[in-house]
Amino acid sequence: MMGKNITKHVKPLRLKGLPEDMRRELKEARAKRGWSQRELGSRIGLPQMHISGIESGKIVPRYDTLLELVRILDRDLLMVPRALVPAVKSLVYDHLRQDQQGEGEERPLYADGDEENTPEGRKNEV
């Protein structure tokens, strides 16, 4: 009986389209690979018109379709505590900025990058 009362007060959330930044990132990831909408669609079994609709916000894909789309573009969906969103966005931004500058080398997040290049930094290595 209590379950029915709870559902009366819960309003379902239905997106009218994927968030703009997510649509932009999907489109940029597709373009970075040199894929047309038709090519991306053929890779996951969707018509070009469907990919266009997702990118423009006219179509909201099912979760499994979104997950497949994101993964074929070498991305992933991740649940992040809201308090950590700014830190995660900063890491992603830094990573993308390094890729654009041709500095794809990984750096430790916990140490100053110059520390490992000094004799003192190397002698402390195990």
Q: How far apart are the first and last CA of the chain?
A: 63
How many domains is the chain partitioned into structurally? 2
Domain of 55 in residue numbering reads as 20-72
Reading the block at residue 50, the tokens are 């469907």
Measured between alpha carbons, how far is 39 from 98 in angstroms, rounded to an integer? 28
Amino acid at 3: G
Q: Is the pTM of this model over 0.75?
A: no
Predicted confidence band at 118 (pLDDT cuts at 50, 70, 90)? Answer: very low
Reading the block at residue 16, the tokens are 């009218």
7 assigned to some structural domain: no
Measured between alpha carbons, how far is 84 from 92 in angstroms, rounded to an integer? 12
Same-domain pairing of 28 and 47: yes
- Would you say residue 123 has pLDDT above 50? no
User: 53, 72, 91 — which closes off a domain?
Assistant: 72
Reading the block at residue 89, the tokens are 């966005």
Query: Would you state the pLDDT for residue 95?
Result: 84
Measured between alpha carbons, how far is 102 from 111 in angstroms, rounded to an integer? 21
- Would you say residue 78 has pLDDT above 60? yes
Question: Tens digits of per-residue pLDDT, 26-77?
Answer: 999 999 999 999 999 999 999 999 999 999 999 999 999 999 999 999 999 9
12 assigned to some structural domain: no
5 assigned to some structural domain: no
Nearest C-alpha neighbor of 53 from the set 26, 80, 84, 32: 26
User: 72, 91, 114 — which closes off a domain?
Assistant: 72
